[in-house]
Structure 1
């Protein structure tokens, strides 16, 4: 694979757009992963490089939310630890387990997430107490979704968000802020395993990281200023797009035969 200035510039802007979208609704990987594969990388290199660049974007959004006072790292410390451990175990397990079963289930899960946000009433921060204790939430949601992100990945942000809304009774803005913190945690844990395996393409990953960092900061500002007016439709849209994309990839040959 030849790394040219034109390629780096194109991937920089792709990462910027992905970071902007991902900070608000998740699904930025829909843009970056296909772009990396199209550049000539192997699938494992593309996954590793995507984790590298997305870690910077999720850090940018997380840091903005923390500095804005929307989320407290101290209050989330248990969930952060559980997410890190879960993602690390998932990243290790994926090297030994066939992920084909998950591949078939993820589109259905994303469609369910979309329908939840589409049909559920607007959430408010004072809607009620969490259905789980802090420890139970951290272990089940942080550890469970963290494992999924390390093992497979698509839709992790949307899954975290729906858990914070449906189980934790957070507003969508607060849920989005907490999602980015845990998403960054799971990204870093998985990235460490990819680095140990020597998989990331650093030159491309770091250039994309700059674009993703800038885009994510802009997206985080939109979340704070526009709130649910923008975030809710984007969560629905990105979840549906991801589901359709995965279903197309899995059943492309069958769909083509239907129309022929």
Structure 2
């Protein structure tokens, strides 16, 4: 049976705090917490399930902070959040039946594209741009698709939501970030529901890390609210590039 010392719990909570900070700004917190859990000796499938437990607290805190600052109306996001939840639950349930290795192979290249897009695309700021598809089409297509991916694999979910909000919905950087968080929260919950059917998360460890996630997410989202694209863009670029490199490293 897996046992964890008090010192190790504190280290994992520290990792969760940093992950909550990064994830609340640009996504990619799982890049920190999943390897930390596995290095602590948590079995891979249990680490993924436990990561969903702690991650939903950070996403939830970030969503509330952005909403309080007036950047998103959470009530208007209930339908998209529900679709993200359903998509993630299905993705987690079907993970063992789909060719995830094929998807994982192409993922680093997609993340590098996202990093380059946000680094060099001119005119990306906090001002809304041209809307390319209607909110209904966006909600019915991209939201459940990214949610499904979150349940299936997970890394980069926040970046994929961000890319969709910026390129298709025409949102500015800060508005896109704010609208990503409730959807990410819902997909975390959906993925957790799916994982529970195949693995048991370490609930107490996940809750302890979740408390640290709340603190990190509050700090990160508060700073992003004040600074906007000048903070969000570089963190998003670094997080996406780091996640891509991490996934490539796993191939070696």
SS of equivalent residue, structure 2 residue 75 = coil
Cα gap change, 1:198 to 1:106, in 2 (>3 Å) = closer
Task: Give the aligned partner of residue 255 of structure 1.
Answer: none
Which one has the largest radius of gyration? 1
Unaligned runs of 5+ in 1: 253-260
How far is 1:72 from its partner?
Answer: 0.8
SS of equivalent residue, structure 1 residue 2 = coil
Task: Give the aligned partner of residue 183 of structure 1.
Answer: 184
1:212 aligns with 2:206: no
How far is 1:198 from its partner?
Answer: 4.7
> In structure 2, how many angstroms separate the alpha carbons of the residues matched to 1:62 and 1:235?
17
SS of equivalent residue, structure 1 residue 74 = helix
Task: Give the aligned partner of residue 123 of structure 1.
Answer: 125
> In structure 1, how many angstroms separate the alpha carbons of the residues matched to 2:206 and 2:82?
26
Aligned positions of 1:133-152 closer than 5 A: 133-152=134-153
> In structure 2, how many angstroms separate the alpha carbons of the residues matched to 1:63 and 1:152?
26
How far is 1:155 from its partner?
Answer: 0.4
How far is 1:115 from its partner?
Answer: 1.0
Aligned positions of 1:17-56 closer than 5 A: 17-56=18-57
Unaligned runs of 5+ in 2: none
Cα-to-partner distance string for 1:229-260 (whole Å, 9 max, x where unaligned): 1110111111011011111111x2xxxxxxxx
SS of equivalent residue, structure 1 residue 141 = helix
Cα gap change, 1:25 to 1:109, in 2 (>3 Å) = same
Aligned positions of 1:62-73 closer than 5 A: 62-73=63-74
> In structure 2, how many angstroms separate the alpha carbons of the residues matched to 1:134 and 1:225?
27
Root-mean-square deviation (CA, aligned residues, Å) is: 1.2
- Whether the aligned pair in 2 keeps the contact of 1:123 and 1:165 (CA below 8 Å) is no
Task: Give the aligned partner of residue 256 of structure 1.
Answer: none
How far is 1:74 from its partner?
Answer: 2.9
Structure 1 segments (4+ residues) deviating >4 Å: none
- Whether the aligned pair in 1 keeps the contact of 2:134 and 2:169 (CA below 8 Å) is no
Task: Give the aligned partner of residue 224 of structure 2.
Answer: 223
SS of equivalent residue, structure 2 residue 160 = helix
Report how many aligned residue pairs link the two structures.
Answer: 250
1:86 aligns with 2:87: yes
TM-score under structure 1 normalisation?
0.93
How far is 1:127 from its partner?
Answer: 2.1
Task: Give the aligned partner of residue 3 of structure 1.
Answer: 4
Cα-to-partner distance string for 1:162-192 (whole Å, 9 max, x where unaligned): 1101111111000001111110010011112
TM-score under structure 2 normalisation?
0.96
SS of equivalent residue, structure 2 residue 74 = coil
